[in-house]
């Protein structure tokens, strides 16, 4: 079976630590769909004082990182022959991040243009291809559930923000497709391989976008899906001492499988929980403490010890989104200020405005688009 190789989540393919599984049939705190708003409840980025930085980043992305098929995975081109996406290959991940930015920044024309590009590049019969290689003229026959859900979210948000019922109907249509191919017996999986007609047998916790699942059309199995996936996410909590989350849940083994704790993955999981008001106070307190100290590292052991001294733009961008989502302006501003340290200042040539490595010229789509989205949160 073909394995999805989204660059951000390569670590999901490895597993060493197997943890016991709590019951997922009755989550202690079910999602109250009636209180969810389609658009984010706060928008601290609107008055953050970072307009110049956001404009510089937008100019870099639109002028240097965007091509006719979408946003390049990396500014530096390659032969596009690697196992994971490189160079000017494009990802549905990037398209979905950009579409959400278009909505939150209130630009209906850009949204429609970027959607038409994404539709032509990624739309399959069974989902959105996670990756397209222009050099190989290859559209991969596999989707990534997290990116499909983010794409669907952008349509629901666009329908609300731009008062366009056609976008809401489109979101409903793609939701039904998602439920057909990426859900089985009320359990969501990472991907569906259109070519092989196969699903995988596990779910990566940070793929579980609970809010988008809650926004989908009502149906006989919707509550079952929400209940089971909420149980799997909340059951993946490690401990109050280290309040992050496991990587994935294997349905066949009925176990959480994690090699090491990837911070971006755990932050995405905490963001998803915060969007449906199920975040844990210990997680928020931990993130605030580490952001304040500038010590939010890329990977940790299960005991909460950093296994790298590397940090990243995306880590602090996601922390900012969490802050805004839960209504914590201090966390938002502290995180944005930490994120800002990675931006190349004006007057620095081709990389001006980018979140990039000035020494190597590497500028990755996920870092830049997550930062761009954080500016609008």
- Give the tens place of pLDDT for each residue, 318-327: 999 999 999 9
pLDDT on residue 18: 40
Residue 236 near residue 262, CB atoms below 8 Å: no
- How far apart are alpha carbons 186 and 205 in whole angstroms? 15
- Name the H helices within the chain: 51-60, 92-104, 108-122, 145-161, 165-181, 210-215, 222-235, 263-275, 281-293, 313-325, 329-340, 365-376
Tokens at residue 135, please? Answer: 């050099």
Share of the chain above pLDDT 70, in %: 92
Residue 21 clears pLDDT 70, i.e. is over it? no
**Beta-carbon neighbour count of residue 5 at 10 Å?**
18
Read off the pLDDT band of 31 (50, 70, 90).
confident
Residue 26 clears pLDDT 90, i.e. is over it? no
pLDDT on residue 29: 61
Please compute the mean of the pLDDT values over residues 250-271 and round it to a whole number.
96
Residue 15 clears pLDDT 80, i.e. is over it? no
Residue 50 clears pLDDT 60, i.e. is over it? yes
> Pick the residue with more confidence: 53 or 7?
53
| Closest by Cα among 61, 131, 62 to 93 | 131
Residue 129 near residue 192, CB atoms below 8 Å: no
- Give the tens place of pLDDT for each residue, 145-154: 999 999 999 9
- Give the tens place of pLDDT for each residue, 59-72: 999 999 999 999 99
Tokens at residue 282, please? Answer: 């210990």
Please compute the mean of the pLDDT values over residues 313-320 and round it to a whole number.
98
Tokens at residue 22, please? Answer: 């709590």
Please compute the mean of the pLDDT values over residues 304-321 and round it to a whole number.
97
- Give the tens place of pLDDT for each residue, 199-232: 999 999 999 999 999 999 998 789 899 999 999 9
Question: Position of tokens 């690697």?
Answer: 82
pLDDT on residue 123: 98
- How far apart are alpha carbons 95 and 82 in whole angstroms? 21
Share of the chain above pLDDT 90, in %: 88
């Amino acid at each position: 079976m073909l394995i999805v190789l989204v660059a951000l989540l390569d670590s999901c393919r490895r597993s060493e630590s197997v943890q016991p599984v709590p019951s997922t049939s009755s989550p202690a705190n079910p999602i109250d769909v009636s209180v969810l708003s389609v658009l984010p409840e706060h928008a601290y980025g609107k008055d953050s004082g970072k307009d110049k930085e956001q404009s510089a980043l937008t100019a870099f992305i639109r002028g240097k990182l965007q091509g006719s098929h979408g946003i390049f995975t990396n500014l530096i081109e390659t032969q596009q022959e690697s196992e994971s996406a490189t160079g000017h290959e494009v990802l549905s991940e990037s398209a979905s991040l950009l579409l959400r930015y278009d909505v939150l920044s209130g630009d209906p024309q850009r949204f429609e243009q970027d959607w038409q590009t994404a539709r032509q590049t990624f739309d399959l019969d069974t989902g959105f291809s996670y990756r397209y290689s222009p050099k190989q003229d290859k559209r991969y026959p596999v989707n990534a559930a997290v990116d499909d859900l983010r794409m669907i979210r952008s349509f629901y948000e666009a329908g609300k923000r731009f008062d366009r019922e056609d976008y809401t109907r489109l979101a409903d249509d793609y939701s039904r497709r998602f439920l057909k191919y990426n859900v089985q017996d009320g359990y969501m999986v990472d991907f569906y391989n259109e070519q092989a007609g196969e699903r995988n047998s596990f779910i990566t916790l940070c793929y579980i976008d609970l809010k988008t699942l809650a926004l989908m059309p009502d149906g006989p199995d919707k509550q079952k899906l929400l209940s089971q996936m909420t149980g799997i996410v909340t059951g993946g909590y490690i401990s109050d001492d280290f309040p992050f989350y496991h990587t994935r849940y294997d349905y066949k083994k009925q176990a959480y499988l994690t090699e090491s704790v990837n911070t971006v993955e755990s932050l995405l999981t905490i963001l998803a929980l915060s969007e449906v008001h199920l975040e844990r106070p210990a997680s928020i307190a931990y993130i605030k403490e580490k952001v304040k100290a500038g010590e939010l590292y890329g990977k940790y052991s299960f005991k909460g010890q950093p296994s790298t001294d590397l940090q990243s733009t995306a880590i602090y961008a996601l922390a900012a989104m969490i802050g805004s989502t839960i209504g914590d302006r201090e966390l938002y501003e502290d995180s944005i200020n930490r994120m800002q340290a990675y931006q190349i200042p004006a007057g620095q040539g081709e990389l001006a405005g980018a979140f990039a490595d000035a020494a190597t010229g590497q500028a990755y789509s996920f870092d830049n688009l997550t930062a761009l989205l954080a500016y609008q949160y």
